[in-house]
Structure 1
């Protein structure tokens, strides 16, 4: 993993007088998952949108596979738009309710001119198999599926163009805990099979720990800690990271009480 697939270099974003991203330096390597974690308003979604080309940057560079794409809309990325895809937070709103699953999966393939509709239809069963859904799902509508199944469909749609990077923006936060675990396992299985890289955005450090190779912690538009997942989640160096870890709930009531006490002590010392 010595190469870099995406490199954010000194990225800043302003919305009027509000400085949202502050000198962001972040790399994602081929085949790895970088977890981007922080509270709401920390800037993590803004960074993900900038990499996707659907959000602005004011200065700095975003280099994807050697090409500077910072501030360049997907349609103007000289054929590279297909190589970056997204899975968004809410599977209930990210799928067109009037389209069958087959049409949803065919649409990006046809839109990018990679195959005629008849030829693209042959790829649908393969995509459904990749996300462990039955073949007959192709003729059904999003409303006929559970939240976890709809997110699997959204993942299949992201995979339709064989991307090199998927920006995953809170992709399991709308799911219950048992469904979260199954979808996270699916992300790992797909990465092992395809070598796709993920930028995995989440407010939940325990979720990020489950899936990431490296973790970047954002606060107030800045990356305050970035390193190997085991180091950041087991021996955090920044007080904000420590607070995120202590704030995560655990099943054991004794440990939970100890964590609350430690969090209060850390907050008093801040």
Structure 2
């Protein structure tokens, strides 16, 4: 069922549970007031589920993922993973949590060390968690096969691959420790349309095989519709609509969500202009630019 507001019904079996999360960033000048980015966000993700988190640039969607990963501190609220409170976890516990919590970033090139071979990149998290060098080599071969890359890719550098292939390497690295949740932060927005669909299909294939859950962060409602079981829409640090993907992406209730839908690009120029004018009437300029990444 689709709902509006900042909270959604709790799932007793939730893998990730966020409650009333608030995050603020300091001002650019000394003594400048902090800017509140997240304003009491609550959401759940169940095992094996994809929750699509959609909103324009600056809406706070990436900050949610960063808070889950411990990259930004929570001002208040709580983040619970597999029944454990993790927003207050120290560095040592955070390192241990990386076995279960991983991330795929937007840019597949800058997220990979350009001077390290693919094999070294994929081996690093395994060796860091006590895997022997021999076991790591075997696991690297399995990971390359899982993301449909040739075995000789292990000896090559990131610059020798296309953007889509580099993102496959990044996905393989995220899967190395067999995580339970992967945060996908705009993982296909830097790719061309054909490559984008191939990578999305790969992520779905991996989820079906492994049961991994995804927090899928994007500005693109069409991608959310393709990938997600449920969708949460965020505007200005507040969740304005949550529900199953079919309902939210075909019959949204909140004006901001409708504006995001109308601002999505279409092939017909005249239709695109009409949709953007309608989006502007619903959600203002910010919503119109959302489909372009803000």
With structure 1 as the length reference, what TM-score do the two structures score? 0.94
- Point out the more displaced range, 245-254 or 104-113: 245-254
- For residue 149 of structure 2, the aligned residue among 102, 111, 133 is 133
Q: How does 1:74-223 map to 2 (within 5 A)?
A: 75-77=92-94, 79-113=96-130, 115-223=131-239
Is there any run of 5+ residues in structure 2 with no aligned partner, and where?
A: 1-10, 27-33, 288-294
| CA deviations over 1:198-241 (Å, ceiling 9, x no partner) | 00001111111110111111111111111100111111111110
Distance 1:156 1:192 in 2: 15
Instruction: Indicate the SS of the match to 2:140.
Output: helix
Distance 2:91 2:184 in 1: 17
RMSD: 1.7
Could you tell me how far 1:263 is from its partner in structure 2?
Answer: 2.3
| CA deviations over 1:120-178 (Å, ceiling 9, x no partner) | 11111110011011111111110000000000000000000000000011111111111
Partner of residue 13, structure 1 = 23
Is there any run of 5+ residues in structure 1 with no aligned partner, and where?
A: none
Q: Is the 8 A contact 2:259 2:280 kept in 1?
A: no
Distance 1:137 1:258 in 2: 47
Structure 1 residues 54 and 264 mapped into 2: Cα distance closer, same or farther (>3 Å)?
closer
Partner of residue 14, structure 2 = 4
Distance 2:208 2:91 in 1: 27
Partner of residue 235, structure 1 = 251
Q: Is the counterpart of residue 43 in structure 1 residue 60 in structure 2?
A: yes
Partner of residue 33, structure 1 = 50
Distance 1:264 1:14 in 2: 28
Could you tell me how far 1:251 is from its partner in structure 2?
Answer: 2.1
Distance 2:142 2:224 in 1: 28
With structure 2 as the length reference, what TM-score do the two structures score? 0.87
Could you tell me how far 1:265 is from its partner in structure 2?
Answer: 3.9
Distance 1:152 1:251 in 2: 28
Instruction: Indicate the SS of the match to 1:46.
Output: helix
Q: Is the 8 A contact 1:191 1:197 kept in 2?
A: yes
Q: Is the 8 A contact 2:17 2:43 kept in 1?
A: yes
Q: Is the 8 A contact 1:36 1:216 kept in 2?
A: yes
